[in-house]
Each structure stands twice: as structure tokens, then as C-alpha cells.
Amino acid sequence: MARRENGRPPALARPTLWREAALVGGVWTRGDTSLAVTDPASGQVLGHVPNLPARVVLHAVEAAHRALPAWRAQTAKARGALLRRWSELILANQEDLARIVSSEQGKPLAEAVSEVRSAAAYAEWFAEEARRAYGDVIPGHLADKRLQVIKTPVGVVGAITPWNFPSSMVTRKLAPALAAGCTVVLKPSELTPFSALALAALAEEAGAPTGVINVVTGDAAPIGDVLVEDPRVRKLTFTGSTAVGRQLAGRSLANLKRVSLELGGNAPFIVFEDADVEAAVEGAMIAKFRNAGQTCICANRFLVHEAVYDAFARRLAERAQGLVLGGGLEPDTTQGPLINAAAIDKARRHVRDALERGARLLTGGEAIGGTHFQPTVLTEAPPDALLCREETFGPVAGLIRFSGEREAMEMANDSAAGLAAYVYTRDLARSHRLAEALEYGMIGFNTGAMTTEAAPFGGIKESGQGREGSRYGLDDYLDVKTICIDVPAL
């Protein structure tokens, strides 16, 4: 048997937030076997989490199912109060939580702090929304009938979260679920489980009743099998790759569960001839290089008008060269490692493919030390290059030249994905035309950052269904129930 390497967790003010155990029915469970979790910058083992068998995952579903009636029966105000305490505890422990995010995911500490604040903001938002699960009173369709609509919690929710935002993706799903009166079995990514476990420990501290939040860790497939097959799980909410989401959604729908999906994108970033080029470059730095390009709303294709193409390309390359590569916890780092070797390979493959098809390398293009990838800018990227067709999920920007609005719009829509798009222009009419014509769930005009708990986040086409955050986010966890009452006249 391979010797188990000792873990080296990050130094924390509250070391008890580092949990090497799953949370099943209020019990922190270690299990018989474990999975190692590594720091993507150094490859060192940070710690281990249980590799739970299906049997224990079933216990978690059972616990969530048992906790449901009492949790659902609490007032929305009481559920909101718990979420508010959770949000406050997340903020009070933000430094530790951010260190956990940076250690297991690799992003620079400043980005990790923003992510943790965003995690708290989702909990706070849904603390407020809990009390707004309004129904309707509808004028009766017959003289002796009265009609009402009430909203009821979906039930036990299976939630599967990815590694790129290991903290905010958790509260973005769990807070609306809890606000609605649902209970949850959460499966965080096996690459970044410690953020979710720390958040669960804080939810417990905030007073979450036993079984309302369960966190199961381990190999994805057996856990996924339970979540899509067990009839007590009434809904699956998934954020991750389109391939896995498609497969899990298909199986969940076959079992007639509700499904919310937040899948891959292929965001166009369009810069028109009337744009403020410097502002567009600033936005591009955020939309492309945040989290080393590993976000589903990352700009993936830069469509730049020929009149500003050279100026935009030159400035973007200069700014990209200014990024400092390093480990997430090193103070000067502005771009962390990619999550694993497969991510490096994909970035490398996309660069090579673009160059073979005639693109020009302005800066970057190489992997460094096996864990980092240089911020890369390529010009004259052909629209059929891999980096324009597929999500690169790395710090690689490919620039395409265009000469007219219709051409840009058609190229932008020429994708199966429909998550986010970015447009830089100062033309008001053009902004309105594109807001209507672009087939994307979220569009940023003259900004590279648009995610907030107050606005609906989600995509159309193959980027998913359902919305997270905002008042729409609560609906994803509520069923609509019609009440028809016979009221005979006296």
C-alpha cells in the first residue's frame, strides 16, 4: 500500500475550520479510505478527506430527508436569521477562509478574499429573500371558485459544486435552498473540498439544525449516482463542465427530478471602434485573467474592430506581461497556478493549434514549472481555432479582427454556449441592439465584471438552465402549488 503523505494545511487563526471529515447527519465522519488534496502551486499534499462509499452518501440523503419537515416548518424569518448569522461568521473568518481557498485552488489571496466576501453576500442576500417567497391570489375562473398560488420548498436538494470558486459556489446554492426551506446534500469538487467543509462548520456554528446541511466527499461518480437515483432527492443543482452536467441532468430528468445547471461558456468580448480602448483593456484583464482564466464567464474570444485592433492588442499584451506568477499565498502574486496538469495541457494545445492555423503570438505561450501558464495574447486567431470554439479555461487571449456590427454579432452568436458576453462601445443604439441580439444569459457593457448576488447568474443554450442569485435564484428551489377552493354562494 502507498504510504500516506502527511498533509500540510495552511496556517489558520482558527485551525478548527480545517476539517478532514465529511458532515453526515450532524456527525463529522472520517470514513475508511481517504483522498489526498494538493496545493496546485506546489503539488504538496494539504490534507485528506474521506472517500465515502455510496452507503454513507445514502445516510446523508436520509439525514436531509429526516431534517426536512422541521426545517420547512420554520418561519422564513427564522431561516433567514440562520443565513444572516452564517453570513456574519463567514465575514468574521474571511482571512482563514480565503487562505483555505488559495491553498487548495491556487488563486491569489486578494482574489480569494473577494470570493469569500461574495460567499457571505449570497448568504446575506438569501437571508433577506427568504421572506419574499410570495404567492398569488388569482381572480376565480368561476363564480364559486377561489384561486391561490403558494410556493413550497422543492425538498431535499443534491448540490454539486466545482473547484474554480470553491467557496462562493457553495453559498450560491445552499443559501437559496435553505431560504426556501429545502435541506441539502452537497458534493464539493474532490480537488477543493476544504472550503465547503469550513463553510459547513460555520453553518453549524450559526445554528443549522442537524441534517439540514450535509457535505459528502470522495470520488465523484458513486456520489453522483446516489444524488441522481435516490427518489428522496427532489432536485439536482450542478455547476461544472457541460459534458458532466449533460449526463447528470439527463439521468436526473429520467427520474423526474428538477434540475438547475450552470455549465461552460465561450464568452465573446467585443470591442467596437468607438470604445474607450484603455477601459476595454482594463475590463479584458479582469474578464480574461482573473482566476488565471479559470472562470465560466471568462472572455474566451476577443472580437476587435479593425480600427482599434492593433492598439488594443498592444496594450493587452503589455498589461498581461505585468502579471506576476506565483503561489496564491505569496504576497506579490497576481496570477496563480492552473488547477492541474490537464488544465496546462489544454492551454498548451489551444495555443499550438492557433499558431498552426496562422495566429501570431504577441506574448506568453508557455507553461512554467509544470503548474503555471504564462499570460498569453495571440492575434489573428482564426474563428475556427480551438481557442475560439472551446472554452480554454486558462490565461490565453485570442484576438479576431472584424469590420462591422452585424459581422461581430453573428460571430459572437456562432457558439453552442450562451453564458456571458462583453461589449465595449459608446454607441447607445448599438448597445440596445446588441443587448437584444446577443444570445447570452448575461451581458456586460463597458465592464469586465458583472457578477453580484443581486443579479441573476446563468446561461442559455448549452450553458445551462435556471438562475442563481437575485430574486430569481429563490424560485429554483420552490415549487408552485395551485389552490382551488370551492366557495358556494349563500
For the annotated catalytic residues, the residue numbers are 262, 296
Smallest distance, Å, CB 105 to ligand ADP? 12
Pick the closer one to ligand ADP by CB: 81 or 244: 244
Smallest distance, Å, CB 1 to ligand ADP? 25
C-alpha cell at 324: 506576476
Element (H, E) at 281: helix 277-289
Residues numbered 58-97 forming contacts with ligand ADP, rule: CB under 6 A: none
**Given the C-alpha cell 446541511, which residue does it identify?**
213
Smallest distance, Å, CB 267 to ligand ADP? 16
Q: Tell me the CB-side half-sphere exposure of residue 386, using CA atoms within 13 A.
A: 15
Q: How many residues bind ligand ADP (CB under 6 A)?
A: 15
Pick the closer one to ligand ADP by CB: 9 or 264: 264
Element (H, E) at 411: helix 405-413
Residues numbered 232-261 forming contacts with ligand ADP, rule: CB under 6 A: 240-241, 244, 248
36 touches ligand ADP (CB under 6 A): no
Pick the closer one to ligand ADP by CB: 187 or 234: 187
Residue nearest to ligand ADP (CB): 224
Smallest distance, Å, CB 487 to ligand ADP? 49
224 touches ligand ADP (CB under 6 A): yes
Pick the closer one to ligand ADP by CB: 74 or 241: 241
**Is-contact 186 159, C-beta < 8 A?**
yes
Residues numbered 156-195 forming contacts with ligand ADP, rule: CB under 6 A: 160-163, 187, 189-190
**Given the C-alpha cell 470558486, which residue does it identify?**
165
Of the residues 91, 220, 411, 455, which one makes contact with ligand ADP according to CB under 6 A: 220
| Choices 131-139, 154-162, 353-361, 370-378 (CB under 6 A): range interacting with ligand ADP | 154-162
Name the phi and psi angles at 436, rounded to 5.
-80, -35
311 touches ligand ADP (CB under 6 A): no
Distance CA 118, CA 169 (A): 9
Neighbours of 21 (CB within 10 A): 18
Distance CA 260, CA 20 (A): 29
* Triad 436, 437, 442: Cα angle to 5°: 65
The type of residue at 312 is F
Smallest distance, Å, CB 169 to ligand ADP? 9
Neighbours of 128 (CB within 10 A): 14
Determine the distance from the C-alpha atom of residue 360 to the mean position of all C-alpha atoms in its chain, rounded to a whole number.
Answer: 32
Per CB under 6 A, residues contacting ligand ADP are 160-163, 187, 189-190, 220-221, 223-224, 240-241, 244, 248
